[in-house]
Amino acid sequence: MSLKEFKETSQVLNSRTLHLVTYLSTVEEDRKRVETEKASMVENLGMYRGQLEVSRQCQDDAVKQRDALANEVAQLRMELQQVRDDCDRHQLQVQTLTAEFTQYKESTEKSYYEWGDLTSKNDELEARCLSQSDQIKTLKDQLMTAEKKLQMSDLSTMERRTEYEGQKKQISELRTRLADAEFKLIEGEMLRKKLHNENLELKGNIRVFCRVRPFLAEDGSNTEGKVISYPTSMDALGRGIDLVQSGQKHSFKFDRVFVPDVSQEDVFEDISQLVQSALDGYKVCIFAYGQTGSGKTYTMMGKPGDPEQKGLIPRTLEQIFKTRQFVQPQGWKYEMQVSMLEIYNETIRDLLATNRSSSDMLRTENGTAGKQYTIKHDANGNSHVSDLTIVDVRSANEVSFLLERPLIAGKTQMNEQSSRSHFVFTLRIYGVNESTEQQVQGILNLIDLAGSERLSKSGSTGDRLRETQAINKSLSSLSDVIFALAKKEDHVPFRNSKLTYLLQPCLGGDSKTLMFVNIAPDSSSAGESLCSLRFAARVNACEIGVPRRQTYTRPSDSRLSYG
C-alpha cells in the first residue's frame, strides 16, 4: 500500500471516527433525556395510579348514583303518566266547560234579548195600562151619558114602533110591486119575442143576402164597374145589384146587398136577429152559396187569427153565449150541443169522430164504403143523423176549439183552398126558465156549401172531375127543390141528394132560413156569377111554412159523445 492510499484511508477512518464520536455524544444525550423522561413517566405513572384509584372510587359512586337515578327516573315516569292522565281528564273537563260556557253564553245573549223585549213589552204594557185607565175613565163618563140617553130613548120607543110598523107595511107594498114588475118583465120578454118573430116573418121566411167580394190580386187588372154595379134609386138602394155579361145588363133585387168594402161586423149585424130566434126556440138555417173563390168560407168562418175578420159562425157563437149569460137573471138556463159533418161525393163524414182516421177518409175518396150514416126526420121536423158525434159545449172557446179541427179540403185549378164538400155546423139549444117553467128547443144550422162552377170552368180531371160532378149534382138537386117550392108543387124532391134531404126541415118546414149568395167581381167569373144570382132570385121567391116555436122534454138518458 502506498502512502497516499494510507493517508486517504486514514482520513476516511478519522472522518468515520469523528462521526461516530458525534453520534455517540448524541446517543448519550438521548439516553439522558430518555432517563429523565422515564423518571418523569414513573412519577406520572404513580400519579396516574392514584388518579385511577380515585376514578375507580368515583366510578363506583357513579354506578351507585346511576342506580339511584334509574329508580328515580322510573318513579318520575310513573308520576309523568299520572300527570298525563290528569292532563287528559282536565282537557275533557275544559272541553265540557267550554261547551257549557258557549251554551251559557248563547243562553245569556238570548236572555239578554228576551230581557230587552220584556223590558219593551213592559214599557208598552205600562203605557197601555195608563191609556186603558184613561179609556176606562172616559167609558165611565160615556156610560153615564148613555144611561141618561137610554132614559130619554124610552120615552120615544112607542113612536119608533109605530114608525117600524109603517116601514114594514111599505116593504110589503114594495115587494108586491116588485113581483108585478117581474111578471110584467116576463110578459115584456114574451112580447119582444113575439114581435121579433112577427118582424122576421114579415120579411119572409127565406131571406136572401148577396155579398160581393173585393178584387183580389189573381183577378188581374179588371175593375168592378165593368161587370157589377149597384143601382142608387130609393127602391133598390142597398138591395139591388146589376151584372153585365156580353153587353147585356141583368138586374136583381134581394133582401140585402153587401158591397165589397162592407166589414164582417156589419154583415153579422144584419143576421143577429136570426141568431136570437134560435135562442127563442126556433129552427134557423144560414147557408152560403156561390162559385169557388167567391168568399163563402170567408163569410162563414172569416180569417183565422184576425178578430176583426171573424166570420158569421164565430160571431154567432159569441152572441149566443153572451145572450145566455145575460138572460140568466131572468131565470133562463141553456144547454148547448154541437155536431159537425160534411157531405163529400154523397157520403156523410163525421168531423168530430175521435176514431176518424186517414185510412177511413182514403177509402171514402177511392169509392170504398166507409161508415154509413143515415138521415132521419122526427115528428117535430128535426133532422137526425145516425151515429153522429154530438158534443156538449159550455163556452164559445170550446166551440172554437172544435171548429179548428182539420176539415177535408181539395184542390182545383181555380182555387188551391177550394172546398170539395158541403160543411154543416149544427148547434142544438135547450132552454128552460125556472121561473115560468117554459122549455124551448132551438136549432141553428150554419152551412158552407161546396163551390158551384161548371165543369168547363173548374178545369178538373180524374177524381176532381168526379168530385165536381157530385157537387154540381147536389147543387142541382137543391135548385130543383127551390124551384118546386117556388112553384108550390105537391112533390118536392128532397130525397134526390143527401144535402137536400138534410136541409128538408130548413127549406120545406117551419124554419127561418137565410141564404148568402157570394159573387166574384171579375169579368172572368161573370157567367158563374149570373148563374148564382139567378138561383138566388128563385130562392128569394120561395114561401115556406110559418115558423113555430119548439118546446121539448129532454130525455133523462140522453147520451152524448165527446170529440
CB 208 within 8 A of CB 540: yes
Q: Tell me which of 98-107, 115-124, 214-223, 479-488 is least confident.
A: 214-223
pLDDT for residue 398: 87
Q: How confident is the model at residue 305 (pLDDT cuts 50, 70, 90)?
A: confident
| Residue 410 marked as a ligand binder | no
Q: How many whole angstroms from its chain centre is CA 63?
A: 104
Residue 296 labeled ligand binder: yes
291 annotated ligand-binding residue: yes
Lowest mean pLDDT among 134-143, 187-196, 461-470, 477-486: 187-196
pLDDT tens-digit map of 76-88: 889 888 888 888 8
Q: Cell triple for residue 517?
A: 149568395
pLDDT in the model for residue 560: 33
**What per-residue confidence (pLDDT) applies to 49?**
86
Q: Is 302 annotated as a binding residue?
A: no
Residue 209 confidence (pLDDT):
94
50 carries a ligand binding annotation:
no
Q: Pairing relation of β-strands 283-290 and 439-448?
A: parallel
Domains of the chain (ranges plus CATH)? 1-126 (no CATH), 204-215+258-540 (3.40.850.10)
Asked if pLDDT for residue 36 goes beyond 60, the answer is: yes
- Which of the pair, 505 or 61, is modelled with greater confidence? 61
At 165, the pLDDT band (50, 70, 90 cuts) reads confident
pLDDT of residue 86: 87
pLDDT exceeds cutoff 80 at 419: no
Residue 356: DSSP 8-state: -
Provide the pLDDT for residue 433.
Answer: 87
**For residue 355, which amino acid is it?**
N
Summarize the confidence of residues 160-188 as an average pLDDT.
Answer: 74
Residue 556 has pLDDT above 50, yes or no: no
Residue 428 confidence (pLDDT): 92
Closest CA to 349 of 371, 375, 382, 377: 371
Q: What gap in Å lies between CA 359 and CA 480, rounded to an integer?
A: 35
What is the predicted pLDDT for the residue at 379? 78
| pLDDT the model gives residue 414 | 37
**Selected residue with higher pLDDT from 16 and 286:** 286
Has 556 been labeled as part of a binding site? no
Mean pLDDT across the stretch 337-359? 81
For the record, the C-alpha cell of 276 comes out as 136570437
The backbone region for 122, taken as left when phi is positive above 0, alpha when psi lies in -120 to 50, beta otherwise, is alpha
Q: Is the pLDDT of residue 54 over 50?
A: yes
Tell whether the model's pLDDT for residue 562 goes beyond 60: no
> What are the pLDDT digits (tens) for 460-485?
555 666 677 777 788 888 888 888 87
pLDDT > 70? residue 358: no
Q: 294: annotated binding-site residue?
A: yes
Q: Tell me the CA distances in angstroms from 112 to 21, 105, 116, one per residue in order.
A: 117, 10, 6
Q: What is the pLDDT of residue 268?
A: 93
- Residue 290 C-beta-side C-alpha neighbours within 13 Å: 29
